């Protein structure tokens, strides 16, 4: 099936993008650093590092540490400040027709408003993204994004002082009690869309120095480790605000990871940490996402947005025609390939606890498309991908006689050891 057959255009408020793969704030430098790896005009949009009123050196080093499945950073938003940004960095992007989302930050409502005022005169900004994961000096350094009122105050200030017609996005932190409530406050304050999520607070301790690994003690965790948290945030916010466009961020490193966010309710995705080890990843992820959608017979990316919220059996309104080469026999072969790869993953000596990718991604995708096909050529269900592995996870736990908590074996062992 031709990947080009899926319509990949997306809308984020009034902003129309040719495709949904973006870079995340702070991870693509000024754009010049990524330009040798791919043509920046081919992605949906480039997002700048957060811009502040004054130059900032950021935190002293060490300000980054590797953790098992993610990166821990406490950079302190280093940057030249808004003036050099407007003189040097933004013109470089705009002159090359790079769709540019400008991220703004500050430590007070007034600072956010000031950056927005400075940007107001610039016509070619695709959108402004408000980084509410910033410490608020007026509130003992607590993040704006932790509180609906504080988040709304900065978003409202940026909206008021920005050029009318420029979409304003609110970028939220995931480690809050009720992200949908904060999202709603930001939308009420004028946000046209939401970027979900920023890093989540974590900590690592250096066992050689016996001290925190970062000078900032704690830092922001990013990368694959936070993807399930980010997907959950997107899912919850899309459920509460289905008409508000969302950019999903957090551990996107493949087309299927991007698809997860889209199914949860994101209209677009942005790559952050992945860029540090694979700067050319955005175009690979875009290609993989196109293939994944086409093999699932999704004709328009927009139809896949939030599909995971639909009941089983729901059929998107527009589907690609069943490819002629996907005969019943071919479908059975593909199905067998998926089962074989799942069995291999479960075999003794095979990986345990984590799902391995099917041996043949193409076969798996073909199996999905075929399994969901009906005699009339329309898919029966986009939910037909359950494997034996997934079925086992989904199987209800053995019923207990009452609702008493299950005995904790660790506690029992501790008790035994007590004198």
Ligand X SMILES: Cc1cc2nc3c(=O)[nH]c(=O)nc-3n(C[C@H](O)[C@H](O)[C@H](O)COP(=O)(O)O)c2cc1C
Residues carrying an active site annotation: 134
**Residues facing 222 on adjacent strands:** 71
Beta bridge partners of 379: 373
Q: How far is the CB of 110 from ligand X (least distance, A)?
A: 19
107 in contact with ligand X (CB under 6 A): no
Do 281 and 271 touch, CB atoms closer than 8 A? yes
* Continuous segment of H or E residues that includes residue 170: strand 168-172
Residue 19 Cβ, how far from ligand X at the closest point, in Å? 17
Among 40, 75, 183, 189, binds ligand X (CB under 6 A): 75
* Contact with ligand X (CB under 6 A) among 143, 258, 268, 271: 271
Considering only residues 6, 30, 50, 107, which one is a binding residue for ligand X as defined by CB under 6 A?
50
Single out the segment in contact with ligand X by CB under 6 A; choices: 209-217, 267-275, 322-330, 389-397.
267-275
Gap between the Cα atoms of 165 and 408, Å rounded:
57
77 binds ligand X (CB under 6 A): yes
Work out whether 166 is an interface residue with ligand X (CB under 6 A): no
Question: What's the min distance (Å) between Cβ of 256 and ligand X?
Answer: 15
Does 171 interact with ligand X (rule: CB under 6 A)?
Answer: yes
d(CA 409, CA 57): 50
Near ligand X by CB under 6 A: residue from 15, 22, 25, 292: 25
Residues 6+ apart with CB under 8 A from 136: 107, 108, 142, 143, 144, 150
Nearest approach, Cβ of 136 to ligand X (angstroms)? 15
Token readout for 376 is 């009339």
- What residues contact residue 38 under an 8 Å CB cut-off, 6+ apart? 279, 280, 282, 283
Site string for ligand X, 204-233 (x = CB under 6 A): ------------------xx--x-------
Q: Does 162 bind ligand X (CB under 6 A)?
A: no
Distance in angstroms (rounded) separating the CA atoms of residues 231 and 179:
12
* Cβ-based nearer residue to ligand X, 12 or 27: 27
d(CA 378, CA 111): 54
Span 232-251, contacts to ligand X by CB under 6 A: 249-251
Residue 198 found at the interface with ligand X (CB under 6 A): yes
- Site membership for ligand X, residue 20 (CB under 6 A): no
Interface pick for ligand X out of 19, 49, 107, 387 (rule CB under 6 A): 49
Closest alpha carbon to 265 in 244, 282, 295, 286: 244
Rounded to an integer, what distance in angstroms lies between the CA atom of residue 217 and that of residue 236? 30
Segment interacting with ligand X (CB under 6 A) among 72-80, 149-157, 327-335, 366-374? 72-80
Cβ contact 173:145 at 8 Å = yes
In the bound state, the residue with its beta carbon closest to ligand X is 26
The CB-of-224 to ligand X minimum distance in angstroms stands at 7
The half-sphere exposure of 379 on its side-chain side, counting CA atoms within 13 A, is 29
Smallest distance from ligand X to CB 271, Å: 6
Nearer to ligand X, 272 or 373 (CB): 272
**Residue 40 phi, psi (nearest 5):** -65, -20
Query: How many residues contact ligand X, by CB under 6 A?
Result: 26
Phi, psi of 94 (to 5 degrees): -65, -40
Q: Are 55 and 64 in contact (CB under 8 A)?
A: no
With CB under 6 A as the contact rule, the residue among 179, 187, 252, 319 that binds ligand X is: 252
Closer to ligand X by CB, 71 or 301: give it.
71
Side-chain half-sphere exposure of 149, counting CA atoms within 13 A = 2
Contact positions vs ligand X (CB under 6 A): 24-27, 49-50, 71, 73, 75, 77, 103, 131, 171, 198-199, 222-223, 226, 249-252, 271-274
């Amino acid at each position: 099936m031709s990947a080009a057959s899926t319509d990949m255009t997306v809308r984020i408020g009034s902003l129309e993008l040719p495709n949904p793969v973006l870079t995340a704030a702070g991870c693509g430098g000024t754009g010049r650093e990524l330009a040798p790896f791919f043509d920046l005009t081919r992605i949906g949009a480039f997002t700048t590092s957060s811009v502040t009123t004054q130059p900032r050196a950021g935190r002293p080093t060490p300000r980054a540490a590797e953790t098992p499945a993610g990166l821990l950073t406490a950079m302190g938003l280093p940057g030249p400040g808004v003036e050099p940004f407007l003189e040097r960095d933004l013109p470089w992007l705009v002159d090359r027709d790079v769709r540019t989302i400008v991220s703004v930050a500050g430590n007070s409502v007034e600072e956010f408003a000031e950056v927005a005022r400075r940007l107001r005169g610039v016509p070619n900004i695709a959108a402004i993204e408000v980084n509410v994961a910033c410490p608020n000096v007026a509130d003992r350094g607590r993040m704006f994004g932790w509180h609906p009122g504080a988040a709304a105050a900065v978003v409202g200030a940026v909206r008021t002082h920005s050029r009318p017609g420029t979409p304003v996005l609110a970028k939220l932190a995931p480690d809050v009690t009720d992200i949908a409530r904060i999202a709603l406050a930001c939308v009420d304050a004028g946000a046209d869309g939401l970027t979900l999520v920023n890093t989540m607070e974590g900590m690592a301790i250096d066992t050689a120095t016996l001290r925190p690994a970062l000078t900032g003690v704690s830092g922001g965790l990013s990368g694959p480790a936070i993807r399930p948290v980010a997907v959950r945030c997107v899912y919850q916010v899309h459920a509460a605000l289905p008409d508000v466009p969302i950019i999903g961020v957090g551990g996107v490193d493949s087309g299927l990871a991007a698809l997860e966010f889209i199914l949860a309710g994101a209209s677009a995705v942005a790559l952050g940490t992945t860029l540090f080890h694979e700067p050319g990843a955005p175009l690979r992820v875009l290609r993989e996402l196109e293939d994944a959608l086409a093999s699932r017979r999704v004709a328009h990316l927009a139809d896949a947005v939030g599909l995971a919220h639909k009941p089983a059996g729901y059929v998107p309104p527009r589907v690609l025609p069943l490819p002629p080469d996907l005969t019943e026999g071919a479908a059975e072969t593909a199905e067998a390939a998926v089962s074989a790869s799942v069995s291999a993953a479960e075999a003794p000596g095979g990986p345990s606890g984590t799902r391995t990718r099917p041996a043949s991604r193409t076969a798996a995708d073909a199996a999905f498309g075929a399994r969901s096909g009906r005699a009339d050529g329309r898919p029966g269900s986009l939910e037909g991908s359950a494997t034996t592995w997934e079925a086992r996870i989904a199987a209800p736990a053995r019923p207990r006689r009452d609702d008493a908590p299950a005995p904790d074996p660790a506690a029992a062992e501790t008790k035994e050891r007590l004198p």
